[in-house]
Each structure stands twice: as structure tokens, then as C-alpha cells.
Amino acid sequence: MEAKVKDRIASWSERWNTGNTGWHVAGVNHCLMEYGEALLPSGSRRRVFIPLCGKTVDLKWFYDGGHEVVGVEAVEKCVLEFFAENSLKYVTETLTWAKVFRTECNRLKIYCCDLMDVELEALGKFDAVWDRGSLVAIYEEDRKKYAALMKSLLTPDFKYLLSTLVYTPTESFNGPPRNVPTELVEELYGDVCKVEVLGSQEDEGRAKKWNLKFFTEYIYLLTPKTQ
């Protein structure tokens, strides 16, 4: 078990160290541009959670929108790059389970640790979640724990925007990013969430790159089941 946990982070650390970070985009994610309104009811300040945040500029996009943003990322190198590349000053704090990097105003915070080790009470609850390159990045065997953890962080009127990828895994490519079909999203979140597909888009470039018949990005809005 211990070896697996070390391996979980080591492979990502290796990717950051060698620049094997093809998922990282320079601009704000296109799904957020298109569907961000569904996540953020206008005029309200939200607490936004970005699991496995890497150094996505989406963190800054939410911050610039006046929201409180919390990310979790295991690899310190990219957390440092995030603050440097976005010209944001930060202070650090060392907890028993994470090193925290935060703006002085405390409105943007990245916990540097394994997501599976977070102290849920310390993170607090979130009105909004932006999950891109996260559920699709984790090991299959971590998925149930991941979904339980995510669901435990939601406020009663949450909105959770989830980006997944669907393809037929082959011997030469089975991720990450991993294949996460709609049935799996339902299985993991359907007990407490209404699962709505907002859109989907073929990515012929990545299908070709990995020699797959198709590679489709899906975007879901998860909301409380009772509403």
C-alpha cells in the first residue's frame, strides 16, 4: 500500500520534472469559458475547489472573478511555478499533512499534498468544484475514495463542473487520462448528484496521437439530487 502511494505521486513528479505535461494549457480552459456560468450563479462569491490543480491558470481566473479558490496539488514544483508565472505573491504555512501556499489575502490557497491525505475539516465546504484532469487522472482503485471525498466537501447547494474523457482503451494507451464513461460518473456520484451532460467534443488530434478510434471530452454539471 505504501509503495503504491509513493508511486502515485512519483510518476507525476517525474512528469513535471521532465516537462511531460501535455495537459497543461496556457489559457483558461475552454469548457470553463463556455460553461463557467452554469457553475457560478452571477453576482455571488463562491468557494471554489480545484482538486489536482497542477498550475492551471483557471485558479487565477476564479480568483480574478472575486471568488475564494482552493486547490490541492502534490508536486511543489508546479505550485511554485503557478505563483511565479501569475505574478502572485504568496506566504507558506506547514501543516502536519500539507504545505500550504496562499496569497496574503487568503483568497487563493493551494495545499501541497496527496489529495488522499487531506484533512477534510480543514478544507471546509465548497459551493463550486472544477474537476478537470482530476477524476480522469487518478488510479481506478482510488475512484470510490476520491468520489466519497469530493462529495463530503460539498455545500447543500453545490455546483460541480466535471470534465471527463471517453475512449476505448488499448494495449498501447490506457491513460492517464483514463477512460471515464457516463455510467461510471453515475455510479460514483449518482447517489447524491443529479448528473447532466452539458456537452461533448471530439478531439481528433489526441485520438490520432494515441492511435485511438475516438477520443471524446464530456462536460457534466452535477447538482444536488433533491433540487
Ligand X SMILES: C[S@@+](CC[C@H](N)C(=O)[O-])C[C@H]1O[C@@H](n2cnc3c(N)ncnc32)[C@H](O)[C@@H]1O
Is the Cβ of residue 4 or residue 45 nearer to ligand X in the bound state?
4
Cβ nearer to ligand X, comparing 115 with 193? 115
Binding mask 76-115 vs ligand X (x if CB under 6 A, - otherwise)?
--x-----------------------------------xx
Distance CA 210, CA 175 (A): 10
* Strand blocks (E) in the chain: 47-50, 68-73, 91-94, 99-102, 108-112, 126-131, 154-166, 193-202, 216-224
Cell numbers that stand for 204 in this block: 481528433
**Angle, alpha carbons 85-89-90 (nearest 5°):** 110
State the Cα–Cα distance between residues 195 and 214, nearest whole angstrom: 23
The residue within the footprint of ligand X, chosen from 35, 54, 215, 220 (CB under 6 A), is 54
**By the rule CB under 6 A, 179 interacts with ligand X:** no
Q: Least distance in Å: CB of 76 to ligand X?
A: 10
Q: Using CB under 6 A, count the residues that bind ligand X.
A: 20
Q: Which stretch binds ligand X (CB under 6 A): 46-54, 182-190, 191-199, 203-211?
A: 46-54
**Per-residue cell: 61:** 481566473
Interface residues with ligand X (CB under 6 A)? 8, 12, 23-24, 52-54, 56, 72-75, 78, 114-116, 132-134, 137
